[in-house]
Amino acid sequence: MDPNILRFLLLLFVINLGFQLVRRFREGFMADLPHNLLLSADAALCGYALSSPERLTSIWSWLGIGIFVGAVLIPGILALLTQFAMGKARWDLATHLLSIKQVFAPSREGRRQLEHVARLRKAHAGHVEEIERDLLSEISRAADPAGKRLMQETLLELLAFSGQWERCLALHERMVQEGMTRLSRPTLAVALIRASLESRDAVRIWAFYRELQKFDPADPTVSSALLSSEIMLLAAYGYSDQLERALSPVHRSHPVFPVSSKRYWLGLSHLQEGNLEKASGYLQFPPALARENPILDRLARELDLRGTEKLASPTSDLEKELERMASQVPVRFAQVRGPKPPIATGLFLGGMLVAFFAQSWLGESDDLWTLYQLGANFRALSVFEEPWRLVMAMFLHAGLIHLLLNGLMMFMFGRILEVHFGFLRTMAVFVFSGITGNIASALIYRQGLSVGASSTVFGMIGAVLMMFVIARDLWHPVWRKKQIQNLVFLLLLNLLLGFSMSMIDNAAHIGGFLGGTFLGWFFLVFGSTGAWRRWVLRGLGIVACLLVILSVVQVVRHQGKARLTPMSWRQGGYEISMTAPVFWQAGVESLQNPMCKLMPTVSVNQAELPEGSRTEAEVIEQYLVQHQAQGKKDGLTLLERRLLPGWTEVEYSFTFEKTPGNEKIFIKVEDRMLWVLRFVYDRRCGPSVQPFIGSVADSFRTQRFTR
């Protein structure tokens, strides 16, 4: 493996382990002593491998990497798979995954997670007593008001989930008496509307619905909560025809309303209308559906047995409100598809993969000519001369590990951002934070090139942080705090890596973070109210998409072309200057295309001619004879000789250290000076040299200077 990659991985592991150990010391190092000692030993081992170049490529490096994979990476992957299994209510699978995780990383937290999954499994079957008992115990011991309120809200939703309506409403009354002025999240409003509806309390139903309407309707979680509440209201007032039309087909699950919920609310609506036979048909769940949602099955059977009481007739204003719901709910229900897939995140990741395949097809991922053709951010020119590079550079990556690291962070946090920002605003954050990061890189470093989605990733992290800070009421406080800690950890980790390794572009990271943070604030504050403001935000997203499309068009137009830039040096009493492709680099009295490994790509030989009668043709011929004699050992073979205006051009082929190459030399005599401009390149780098040889030779100039 490349030593630079090994150094990067080991440094990444050391910093990661350092942060983990600090957190574990704060939480109690002795609680999980064996695992904590293993992590400490691995941090020491990785640091030892980093301490010298010899150890970097030794068994110590691989041992440090292996321990990290087993003790940190595999448990992290298992934790993600466990969350997926729990989301699908696959409790057996979640338990098995957590048990395997305990083998790799035995910890107190892992044991608590296993207990938590066991409780959730019981709750899904309707046995919530254990969870309720634990919550009541924690509430009684809580000293922090915010923590106590959080646990009370969790208990409130649990009571509504299990059908204990009166206790749910009583707990809410107690929380109001203790100082709760408003509901902190839309799911609480839905739970209280449900409890009030089952208790036949119309006043409370509408009061909680008004509370729900105070949340931002543009947020997908709020719009789903509003839709759920309006369907419940229509069912409670007997709008069965409208619900039949909205929820059809009943046997097909919906992201917001599964089949069991559809049947329950249709059954209630027909009960309210007096159609007992049809109501009973919906409320008698088949066995498979009863196993899928045992709590709702129990509530449906109870409702079918006891019947229901009609709510008090609505006032004229409320009747108009219900008519509005009845006309809009069928359309909105068809439009709501649950959490929308992260299209912007997926497109951006797809663009990164397509760019990487293009890099591999045209050359190699770290090939400068390939990167130049595909739009890398060459800092010396891109801001003003080829601005489309500021966009394309964020899709290119210098190697597979670079791509995987950025892609993983994009996948993890891009989905969170897009759920709440939507497609256009997320695209605006991605593209414009990437541009600001690339501008910062070009202005600070001036030379060289930068590629990668790191600036975009940092911009995304900044926007997500703003979302957690400004729209704090949308999330569970404990979860929000943990996500903020994760984001800050990632920021510090990447900044430390950037300051530790020169190949990492911290200017792009910081510039992207500032750009994304500003856009997150701008979208959440400026765009939170007013239709015209929301159109401004959509406009930014559309502009971002157009910039990507136009930049791709520019890449296609510039295939095989390169912008030339002046280069010069002093040699033998002369100032030598020429224009060369921007991705060539100045060496010692030469220019080097970094792709060419044989020798300097462009060099200049000069010789002052003695006084005599030799003609220019004789001088050139003598030089060529000597040059070919010197190149015999490399198999120098004449391919072509031509006379050009001001130059004699000669081309050879040769083999140097088993590598076939070409040499093209331009010779002229000027003011009793013999000038030889040599282009040497191997076959692999020919496409990045051959098209520019004529332009470079034509621009060759010399001027004597005095010291």
Which residues carry out catalysis? 454, 509
DSSP state, residue 385: T
β-partners of residue 644 are: 647
Report d(CA 171, CA 151) in Å as an integer. 12
Instruction: Enumerate residues 6+ apart whose C-beta is below 8 A from 669.
Output: 609, 616, 619, 620, 675
Pairing of strands 564-571, 673-682: unpaired
Structure tokens, 215: 């949340």
Task: Residue 536: count other Cβ atoms within 10 Å of its Cβ.
Answer: 13
Nearest of 88, 54, 51, 49 to residue 65 by alpha carbon? 49
Nearest of 2, 4, 41 to residue 21 by alpha carbon? 41
Whats the size of the chain, residue-wise?
A: 707
Task: Residue 71: count other Cβ atoms within 10 Å of its Cβ.
Answer: 18
State whether the Cα torsion 239-160-89-478 is positive or negative. Answer: positive
DSSP 677-701: EEEEEEGGGGGGTGGGHHHHHHT-E
Task: Residue 340: count other Cβ atoms within 10 Å of its Cβ.
Answer: 13
Alpha helices in 28-90 (DSSP H): 33-50, 53-56, 59-68, 74-87
Strand ranges inside 229-335, DSSP E: none
Residue with tokens 């941090």: 43
Structure tokens, 605: 């030989």
Residue with tokens 């080097």: 592
β-partners of residue 575 are: 570, 703
Structure tokens, 191: 């739970």
Report d(CA 45, CA 36) in Å as an integer. 14
Report d(CA 430, CA 541) in Å as an integer. 10
The answer to whether residues 264 and 283 touch, using CB atoms and an 8 Å cutoff, is yes
The answer to whether residues 690 and 683 touch, using CB atoms and an 8 Å cutoff, is no
Task: Residue 46: count other Cβ atoms within 10 Å of its Cβ.
Answer: 26
Strand ranges inside 351-448, DSSP E: 377-378
Residues 166/170/173/177 CA torsion (nearest 10 deg): 170
Nearest of 345, 356, 355 to residue 413 by alpha carbon? 345
Secondary structure of 304-323 as H, E, C letters: HHHCCCCCCCCCHHHHHHHH
Structure tokens, 457: 């990733």
Report d(CA 554, CA 372) in Å as an integer. 12
CA distances, 381 to each of 317, 452, 558 (Å): 65, 18, 15
